[in-house]
Structure 1
Amino acid sequence: MSPIKTRREGAILEVTLDRPKANAIDLATSRVMGETFMAFRDDPELRVAIVTGAGEKFFSPGWDLKAAADGDAVDGDYGVGGFGGLQELRGLNKPVIAAVNGIACGGGLELALSADMILAADHATFALPEIRSGTVADAASIKLPKRIPYHIAMELLLTGRWFDAEEAYRWGLVNEIFPAQGLMDRAWELARLIASGPPLVYAAIKEVVRDAEDSKFQDAMNRITNSQLPTVEKLYRSEDQLEGARAFAEKRDPVWKGR
């Protein structure tokens, strides 16, 4: 049985981590997730992905410690995209929404951090407890201090303490909180809104944000103006950019074709 379930509706792909009892991720699961997200990246008909966990208790606790005890090496082959298939997947220029339906700790929180937007059920809880097992939350150590205030990020990394959805929202870690029964409805509502928009613009936004993350402002701007970002150049030469201008002039909704 596959540890991943997918649902496709139009331009939207829902990816559900379904590995009882807790949706923990072992090496084999990570490889399947990588193949799934790579296929999403490469499918021209898909525009938005939602990633969530099965059930109401766990989004994911991250690394499967039981599998590790049985021989899964922590530095083993996670597959394309690295752990969980998202955080190191190159060229992923499509929006991803994480719908956190329960506990998201360790690598599960890192998986959520790999998404572009995070929605949380009101009972969701979060933690980075790696310190208690004598290891480092490597991806979170890189990402978290850039997403929320530095001192808060360091507290969470250094103590491994738990925090709830309200605190996550307060620090800007999650976009919205919903009752559990409404979480996926909201995720799909948001996905449909994004899917109706201009995919080439989304691709350009993601590449610009990724490229500029560790750059000085002028250096990043120079790469854009010197035609060094492929998605931006594709957008500037696209039918969609002309369509956007025409639709504005004609006072109608644009029809985006992704070309």
Structure 2
Amino acid sequence: MSTPEVLVEHDDGLVIITINRTDQKNAVNRAVSYGVCEAIDEMDRNPALRAGILTGAGGTFCSGMDLKAFLRGEVTRVEGRGILGIARTPPKKPLIAAVEGWCLAGGFESMLVCDLVVTARNAMFGIPEVKRGLAAAAGGLMRLPRLIPQRIAMEMALTGDLYPADKLAPYGLFNAVVDPGEALAEAIKLARRVIANAPLSVAASKRVIVEQRDWPLDRMFELQEPITAPVLASKDAREGAAAFAERRPAAWRGE
């Protein structure tokens, strides 16, 4: 459900979640965190919804925690789940970030939670918490070194400096870099490519890729088995094979 701070649109299996505090550069207050969290939870529990896009209105993705709200004592994160409700509990279904403009602090950390990222080439990124006596404790200090070289992550964390998309793109932080104003449209195209596939297969593939980083090499196939075996035994697996043999589009049922 949309609120003034968070706009939610359902479009043929896709959820588009837009942070809408343009006068505050889409800074995160309590209403934003809980609004995004509710939309993400609805995506995960509704089988008709297959993937989500997180973006920001007014040419800005998200400038991070609302420091004025913080000074007022407002809790800007979801209890037990972190900023936007995804920092500690990422969604089970694919989530794509569509980034324009500023993507800073908690906004940057929320982008890191996303499975795929499309960014405008003029977007600016950073974890400037050290410049405000804070720390990037919403996952930035832990997720970033897993996604880019540790020394680059260390530089970003210790300097708090801002970095343009073209500086970070060579490290593989983004799936696509597009012209300004085109991030959402490109993210929708990417989401459609994901949604076209079997939902059980997508869910299992995401889960294995996320969880395998902590698996010991001698147990990785053992740990993968209970996740992928139900997919191979599903009705959709037979449908996929039949559709291929009959040269027709598959009709996925999520079963």
- Secondary structure of 1:60's counterpart equals coil
Q: Is the 8 A contact 2:29 2:75 kept in 1?
A: no
Segments of 5+ residues of structure 2 without an aligned counterpart are none
Deviation track 1:110-134 (CA, whole Å, cap 9, x = no partner) reads 0111111111112100011011112
Q: Distance in 2 between matches of 1:80 and 1:117?
A: 24
1:54 aligns with 2:53: no
Identity of aligned residues (%): 32
1:104 aligns to what?
A: 103
Q: Which residue of 1 aligns with 2:94?
A: 95
1:32 aligns with 2:28: no
Q: Distance in 2 between matches of 1:161 and 1:246?
A: 53
RMSD over aligned CA atoms reads 1.7
Is the Cα–Cα contact under 8 Å of residues 35 and 80 in structure 1 kept in the other structure?
Answer: no
TM-score computed with the length of structure 2 as normaliser: 0.92
Give 2:133's aligned residue.
134
- Listed as ranges, the gaps of 5+ residues in structure 1 are none
How far did residue 43 of structure 1 move? 0.6
Out of 57, 62, 65, the residue aligned to residue 63 of structure 1 is: 65
Q: Distance in 1 between matches of 2:12 and 2:79?
A: 27
For normalisation by structure 1, the TM-score amounts to 0.91
1:42 maps to a residue whose letter is: R
CA distance in 1 between counterparts of 2:211 and 2:181 reads: 37
Report the equivalent of 1:256: 252
- Tell me the amino acid that sits aligned with residue 45 of structure 2: D
Where does 1:218-229 land on structure 2 (aligned, <5 Å)?
218-225=218-225, 227=226, 229=227
Q: Which residue of 2 aligns with 1:199?
A: 199
Q: CA deviation at 1:79?
A: 4.0
Q: What does the per-residue CA deviation read over 1:166-213, in whole Å, with 9 as the maximum and x for residues that have no partner? A: 112111111111112322221111111211111111100111122212
Any runs of at least 4 consecutive aligned residues in structure 1 with deviations exceeding 6 A, and if so which? none
Displacement after TM superposition at 1:258 (Å)? 1.3
Match of 1:18 in 2: 20
Distance 2:208 2:199 in 1: 14
1:158 aligns with 158
Structure 2 residue matching 1:180: 3-state secondary structure: coil
1:215-252: CA deviation from partner (whole Å, max 9, x where unpaired)? 22332321123x2x3xx343133110111122223333
Task: Give, in whole Å, the separation in 2 of the partners of 1:239 and 1:93.
Answer: 21
Report the number of matched residues.
251
**Does structure 1 conserve the Cα–Cα contact (< 8 Å) formed by 2:53 and 2:96?**
yes
- Taking a change above 3 Å as real, the CA distance of residues 246 and 80 of structure 1, as seen in their structure-2 partners, is farther
**Alpha-carbon distance in structure 2 between the residues aligned to 1:63 and 1:219:** 40
* 1:80-138 CA-partner distances (Å, limit 9, x unpaired): 74211222226x32111100011001000001111111111121000110111122112
